[in-house]
Chains A and B, each alone.
Chain A
């Protein structure tokens, strides 16, 4: 499918996602030995945004801050396309799949995978650790190859869901999570890694990237969302 040519990952503050993404993106692009102008696709995966923003896509802010092809369209101009995907904690795998789907048809054959969440407001309960991940993805080259992403909805409980709502009592927006979350703990056996299902998508990817170092054959990465649904990405080194 696609190759992860370089990556950067860091724990961040509750509301620093854009700033951190830009910083890590510049490092990742340099590490991949490409130019920002070589980027043709930016896909962000995550769930929570500042003040529950719905539009535009967060990735358009990444593109704008990085100044990737922020020019008018001419007959010769290069282009960059940006959009977001979301599916709870499984968002990183959905973003990778989407890049694998679309990148071959883009003129510029490099994509930025960006993962992370922002605490929507200081009034939202937030027991999460926020991480930011940026990776340069290509169609070929040196690096871990993503060979497949599978999904499993057999343990899905649709009653487990999060939403943003206005709390009339405090006159502020908050996050509400309903349903009974069945805990799934971190597991690492040989060539299989699965994180804790309480984590946000950024932490899932961060912990996986740490464990990816040192592998020289294959590694399966499973993300189980709080709702019970899961995705598994298979990487070959």
Chain B
């Protein structure tokens, strides 16, 4: 084992200003079987990009904030990985080639960075962090920026254009929001400041959530077997957590902050119940997505930003984040918070 390791240098989340209340588009009269969508999901509202914003502009906001907090020049970044699922501009065109990270690097002035995109649905960020951590620990690079801007609320509008009585698999599209997140990783002489679980893809669930271009009009659509997908998570979560805590050599009661991918706040509560039954109480579960909804790959970063803004985070405290992505990817990351996080 060498004496070079990795650490979280900074992170940032960004939410666009416009807030949209769930009741304004998913009221009881709008949905099949008079569903009370707010009660069912726990989502009160989400944020939506402005007319001038797409995935790119959102990503740049988070990336700039993360660079500022890390006190790093863009030219110091050796690797930029874009983890956005949507890669959608404000005109609803989907970026394909070259990598989105290439454009992000150009905009930031990160002239020395290798750039590429990782695609693993909502688990893209944690997958990207895993790649970056390995590169830093092996000594190939010093600093990596992992960034994502998710402009996904057009799927809400697509779903609303459908008859949801006839297309119940579009209902999950009403649970999303726009947002962005960025992380900067760098070298450390101390081991264990970032740890990953064994990553799992349970591909038997790979047809349960499909995102693609709408064939009828401009923009994306998503179709989800939400209950089956949630059951896939819930049925495997307990053993996944036990294996992960053991594999990552963690002490549950020493974890200061816990975040789960918030498909909905209600779903996170269900998952937390399983964890509590196995390990005991969670010190601080940040189940705080009632006003952000599910911002896809950026969810953990958005929630970390909220926690930081609320003054909950302190230097060196520990964070455990569980990530799920359609496919079905299940993985977790544990890290120590950056020095000075409380002063950002």
The answer on A and B forming one complex is yes
State the interface size on chain A (CB cutoff 8 A): 68
Nearest-neighbor residue (CB-CB) of A65 within chain B: B203
A165 x B202 contact (CB < 8 A): no
The stretch of B67-75, B114-122, B251-259 in contact with A is B114-122
By the criterion CB–CB under 8 Å, are A165 and B218 in contact? Answer: yes
Q: In the complex, A71 Cα to B114 Cα: how many Å? A: 36
A157-169 interface bits toward B, Cβ cutoff 8 Å, 1 = contact, 0 = none: 0101111111010
CB distance from A111 to the nearest CB of B (A): 13
Hey, what's the 0/1 contact readout for A98-109 against B, CB within 8 Å counting as 1? Answer: 100110111100
- B19 interfacial contact with A, CB 8 Å: no
A57, A151, A171 interface centre (most CB from chain B within 10 Å): A57
CB-based contact B215/A56 at 8 Å: no
| B243 close to A (CB within 8 Å) | yes
- Asked if A68 lies at the interface with its beta carbon under 8 angstroms from chain B, I say yes
Contact with B along A54-65 (1 / 0, CB 8 A): 111101110110
Residues of B within 8 A of A172 (CB): 215
Residues of A within 8 A of B206 (CB): 56, 60-61, 63-64
Cβ-based interface call for B106 (8 A): yes
Chain A residues closer than 8 Å to B201, beta-carbon distance:
42, 59-60, 63, 79-83
Among B89, B102, B103, B138, the one with the most A-chain Cβ atoms within 10 Å of its Cβ is: B102
Residues on A with C-beta less than 8 A from B85 are: 54-55
A47 contacts B by Cβ under 8 Å = yes
In the complex formed, the residue of A with least CB distance to B96 is A162
Q: Is the pair B94, A163 in contact by a Cβ cutoff of 8 Å? A: yes
**Cα of A75 to Cα of B222 in the assembled complex, Å:** 33
Q: Which chain B positions have C-beta within 8 A of A175? A: 96
Task: Quote the shortest CB–CB distance from B315 to chain A (angstroms).
Answer: 27
Q: Determine which of B103, B210, B216 lies in contact with A56 in the assembled complex, contact meaning CB atoms within 8 Å.
A: B210
Residue of B nearest to A61 (CB): B206
Within the assembled complex, what's the spacing in Å between the Cα atoms of A90 and B163?
A: 42
Contact of A72 among B203, B222, B236 (CB under 8 A): B236
**Chain B: interface residue count, which band?**
35 or more
Which of A54, A156, A166 makes the CB contact (< 8 A) with B119? Answer: A54
A52 CB-CB contact with B under 8 Å: yes
Given A52-B213, A79-B200, does the pair A166, B92 have CB atoms closer than 8 Å? yes
Contact of B218 with A168 in the complex, beta carbons under 8 Å? yes
Contact residues in B for A101 (Cβ distance below 8 Å): 130-131, 134-135, 138
Is the CB of A8 closer than 8 A to any CB of chain B?
Answer: no
Which residues of chain B are within 8 angstroms of A104 by Cβ–Cβ distance? 134
Residues 155-207 of B contacting A (Cβ, < 8 Å): 196, 198-204, 206-207
**Minimal beta-carbon separation of A21 from chain B (angstroms):** 14
**Distance (Å) between the CB of B142 and the closest chain A CB?**
15
Chain B residues whose CB sits within 8 angstroms of the CB of A106 once the complex forms: 198
Which of B20-28, B31-39, B280-288, B324-332 makes up part of the contact surface?
A: B324-332
Contact A55 B198 (CB under 8 A): no
A42 to B135, CA, bound (A): 19
Q: Name the residue on A nearest B220 (C-beta).
A: A54
Q: Mark B98-129, 1 if CB is under 8 A from A, else 0.
A: 11011100100001001111111111100100
Residues of B within 8 A of A158 (CB): 102-103, 106
Give A133 to B97 CA distance when docked, in angstroms. Answer: 20
CB-based contact B127/A164 at 8 Å: no
Q: Are A73 and B240 in contact (CB under 8 A)?
A: yes
Please indicate the chain B residues that have their CB under 8 angstroms from the CB of A53 in the complex: 210-212
In whole angstroms, what is the CA distance A82 to B329 when docked? 8
Contact A83 B236 (CB under 8 A): no
Q: Are A52 and B212 interface neighbours, CB within 8 A?
A: yes
Interface residues of B in 288-330 (CB under 8 A from A): 325-330
Apart from A61-B203, A160-B98, what 18 extra A-B contacts exist at CB < 8 Å? A52-B94, A56-B326, A56-B328, A57-B121, A64-B206, A82-B201, A85-B117, A87-B117, A91-B116, A101-B131, A153-B115, A158-B102, A161-B96, A161-B98, A161-B103, A163-B95, A165-B93, A171-B216
Interface residues of B (CB under 8 A from A): 85-87, 89, 91-99, 101-103, 106, 111, 114-124, 127, 130-131, 134-135, 138, 196, 198-204, 206-207, 209-220, 222, 235-236, 239-240, 242-243, 325-331
In the complex, 23 of the A-B residue pairs with CB atoms within 8 angstroms, ordered by the A residue number, are A49-B212, A54-B212, A56-B206, A56-B325, A56-B328, A75-B243, A81-B201, A83-B118, A83-B329, A84-B120, A85-B118, A86-B97, A86-B117, A90-B116, A101-B135, A153-B111, A158-B106, A161-B95, A164-B93, A164-B96, A166-B219, A172-B215, A225-B98
